[in-house]
Amino acid sequence: MAEVKFCGLTQEADAEMAAELGASHAGVIFAGGPREISPERATAVLEAAGRGVLRVGVFGADARTRVPTVIRSTPLDVIQLHADPCAADIVDARQYFAGTVWAALRVAGTNIPETSAALFGEADAVLLDARVPEKLGGAGVAIAWWEIADAIGRIRAGGKLVLAGGLSPENVQEAIAALNPDIVDISSGVESAPGIKDHLRMRAFARAVRGIAE
């Protein structure tokens, strides 16, 4: 069964709900956009999720300078490099972060970037997301799951896959059937406004991942 990551958290109550629903990961944004919060706010939000939930920080192109600054005040278990990292960026990240490193692989249509195999070989997990112009994530755009399933399966070669990009309570079962991810990652699909989670939709998503009918 896929694990669940609720991302783009900005409120303590939403992090508490993520924990209540059995999420394995809680994510906060340091990469710009309407869901970005300060390290101080991130600390409070992630602490609300409790010790049983792994803490993920999402970073953009400034990760090399930003991560060491953020982790002074905000303990993180995972950093997610979301600005089209290459394998060398993952190697570099291990010099300034001792935890788990995820690399985002952003896909436009059925075009799989040439860096894909190298990312799976180097990162602790590859996060598959939709490529949307001028946005790093949280756009609510779904990936063509079935169309790329065979290609991703070959490239993945047993590597850990985190699936994001336009997931919702209504479509997550199909996405899991197509790509068999280890973790499903949702942000905008359970929101009432950017950064504000709808707890009913969070619950519906967790139940859908587990195949529990409403």
| DSSP-derived secondary structure for 99-156 | SEEEEEEEEBTTB--TTHHHHHHHSSEEEEEE-BTTBSS-S-PPP-HHHHHHHHHHHH
Q: Using one digit for the tens of pLDDT, what is the confidence trace for 62-114?
A: 999 999 999 999 999 999 999 999 999 999 999 999 999 999 999 988 888 88
Q: Compute φ and ψ for 44, nearest 5 degrees.
A: -65, -40
Determine whether 128 is exposed, middle or buried from the number of CB atoms within 10 Å of its CB (0-12, 13-18, 19+).
buried
Number of domains composing the chain: 1
Range of the domain at 152: 3-209
Global pTM exceeds 0.85: yes
Q: Which residues of the chain are under the pLDDT cut of 50?
A: none
Sequence-distant (≥ 6) Cβ neighbours of residue 121 within 8 angstroms: 87, 159
CATH of the domain at 28: 3.20.20.70
User: Is 55 inside any structural domain?
Assistant: yes
| Measured CA angle at 130 (ends 45, 120), to 5 deg | 85
